[in-house]
Structure 1
Amino acid sequence: MDIYLILSGTSGICWTIVYIECIRLGFKQKTYAMPFWALALNIAWETIHSILGYRENGLSIQVIFNTIWFLFDVLILLTYFKFGYKHFTNFLPKKIFLVWSLIVLVFSYCIQYIFVHEYGLVKGASYSAFLQNLIMSVLFIEMFIQRRSDQGQNLTIAISKFIGTLAPSILFGIVGINEFGGPNFFLLVTGILIATFDLIYIALLLNNRQNKIS
């Protein structure tokens, strides 16, 4: 089997697990399980690249995953608006919470469009995906610290995110694709940074689990 399909498929399956688990935990624990800025950037990325990707390449494996992820992110977004305000009640009125959330969503669509406009479809998608993934890694750690618990978080999400990003990091940063003319140093380094923060997050969750047991 082609290495591109193996790595793309691995990434797609792992990220699908992340989204499903975020939905499950969100409704079960009445919270949201993905940091909101990361969620907003994700849903904007998936909207734009599902549509433009289909126009450019037809029904490719990436377009299929993008569309599935968009539908899952809609459900995660629902958990955010349904349960998320309780995490902001101490310092933010509900109307401001809703207005701010909508502003973040609009800004996220603008940011994703800028990447496509400046770098083209494939490069724009790759650069923005890796950067927002790095932001997500940092925000997961911040969410764990702010909540002072693993509410809405677990090792399934953390490990699946780690593997789901490691695969494209290898694909773009080491194997290389034609659109980049071979391995891309920027994506490789960004992938290493993401993996580092993901491993820190996994370690925090493992330590938290150990503390619960002891």
Structure 2
Amino acid sequence: MSTGLTILSGLAWTIVYIEAIRLGFKHRTYAMPVAALGLNIAWETIYAAVEISNGGSIQGVSNLVWALADVAIVYTFFRFGRSELPMLVPRWLFVTWGAGILVVGYVVQWLFIVEFGLYLAPRYAAFLQNALMSGLFIAFFVARRGARGQSLTLGVAKWLGTLAPTMLFGVVKGFDPFILGLGLICSVLDLAYIGLLVWARRVPLTISPTVPAGERAAPQG
């Protein structure tokens, strides 16, 4: 069961990243909240290196694949993300802000390792940042007033990709109320997000799902 849940999580999150890259280029935006992106790429590069240095594992291969995919998502953020901000924000400030978030992601992961060690740090950090990401995807939908840069495929894959390790580390490998509780919070938020995406398919959007707010023409008159 442990191997099956690990493989399910790896496949589901790989779908999330592939879909995020596809949506980023299709809608000319970034498809993952930048705070979550900063934490994710830091987590994946650090623990891919740790797993590879320890001889490799299924999780280590997944971490490496995700890290490479995150590089592409980071590119879409710096390539298209400027259009999400007010025009008065200069590009140099946008780039500095984005780079700062990436640096903070590595600092946060380092602090988790210092506090919890290499055994617990990846689990605790992963579930906390997943809970953050689940909330940020809902904020994404609200801020963009619809599903631009988002999809049901991404939402469902994220839900399953988090649910599998929740069961693995919260139940199968021993009852852990911290991980199980955070995992259930993620599921509630992910299901709410999926519900919003389903609703968006049925309700006309007030803003085109493919045009960033900063690129819409100003009203006349």
> How would you bin the TM-score normalised by the shorter chain?
over 0.9
| 1:140 and 2:137 aligned | yes
**2:218 counterpart residue number:** none
Q: Which has the higher mean CA deviation after the structures are superposed, 59-68 or 46-55?
A: 46-55
User: Is the contact made by 1:48 and 1:113 (CA closer than 8 Å) also made in structure 2?
Assistant: no
Note closer, same or farther for the CA distance 1:116–1:85 as it changes in structure 2 (3 Å cut).
Answer: same
Distance, in Å, in 2 between the alignment partners of 1:126 and 1:90 is 39
User: Displaced runs of 4+ in structure 1, greater than 4 A?
Assistant: none
1:60 to 51, 57, 61: 57
5 Å matches for 1:61-76? 61-76=58-73
Which residue of 119, 124, 127 corresponds with 1:130?
A: 127
Confirm whether residue 115 of structure 1 aligns to residue 112 of structure 2: yes
Q: How is 1:18-167 mapped onto 2 (pairs within 5 angstroms)?
A: 18-56=16-54, 58-90=55-87, 92-167=89-164
- d(CA) in 2 for partners of 1:91, 1:186: 43
TM-score by length of 2: 0.90
Instruction: Single out whichever of 116-125 and 195-204 deviates more from structure 2.
Output: 116-125
Does 2:3 align with 1:5? yes
Post-superposition offset of 1:49: 0.4
Deviation at 1:212, TM superposition (A): 4.0
Structure 1 residue 92, shift from structure 2 partner:
2.5
Alpha-carbon offset, residue 118 of structure 1: 1.5
Q: Specify the code of the residue in structure 1 equivalent to 2:188.
A: T
For residues 19-57 of structure 1, give each alpha carbon's deviation from its aligned partner in whole angstroms, at most 9, with x where no partner exists. 00000111111110000000110000011101112223x
Please tell me whether residue 207 in structure 1 is matched to residue 204 in structure 2.
Answer: no
Question: CA offsets per residue over residues 99-148 of structure 1, 9 Å max, x none?
Answer: 11111111110100111121111310000000000110000000110011
Structure 2: tracts of 5 or more residues without a match: 206-221
Deviations 1:142-185 (A, max 9, x none): 01100112110000000000011000001111112xxxxx2211
Please provide the CA RMSD for this pair. Answer: 1.2
Partner of 1:190: 182
Counterpart-to-counterpart distance in 2, 1:143 and 1:136: 10
- Whichever residue aligns with residue 40 of structure 2, its letter is N
Cα distance in 1, alignment partners of residues 119 and 36 from structure 2: 20
How far 1:89 sits from its partner (Å)? 2.8
Q: Give the letter for the 2:200 counterpart.
A: N
Distance 1:28 1:74 in 2: 17
Cα deviation, residue 90, structure 1? 4.1
Give the Cα separation in 2 of the matches to 1:29 and 1:203: 21
Residue 168 of structure 1 corresponds to 165
Runs of 5+ consecutive residues of structure 1 not aligned to the other structure = 177-181
Amino acid at match of 2:186: I
**Percent identical residues:** 46
Aligned residues, how many?
205
